[in-house]
Amino acid sequence: MTGWVDDIGKDIMDSPYITFSTNQQYDLRGVQFYFKKSEGAKLADVRKGQQVTIQGKVDGLMMNVFVKNSVFID
């Protein structure tokens, strides 16, 4: 999936993630990508608003669509 980074952070288990937003005014849902530790160096270079392409496995839906084992695609 290719999109623009809306948020970068860590969850309560200290797992790093990036969120893509739908950019709709009242839409609360987005896509949240959780990363493998091997992606740490690439993740450190990502900034909000940057366009990136990420691949992973959809793992569920709560407020966001959760994508696990995410990796950056160059």
Does 53 have pLDDT greater than 80? yes
The pLDDT tens digits of the residues spanning 3-47 come to: 999 999 988 888 899 999 766 666 667 899 999 888 888 999 999
Chain centre to alpha carbon of residue 25: 20
Residue 20: domain span: 2-72
**pLDDT at position 30:** 86
State mean pLDDT over 44-61. Answer: 93
Query: What does the DSSP assignment read for 1-67?
Result: -EEEEEEEEE-TT--EEEEEE---TT---EEEEEE-GGGHHHHHT--TT-EEEEEEEEEEESSSEEE
Number of domains in the chain: 1
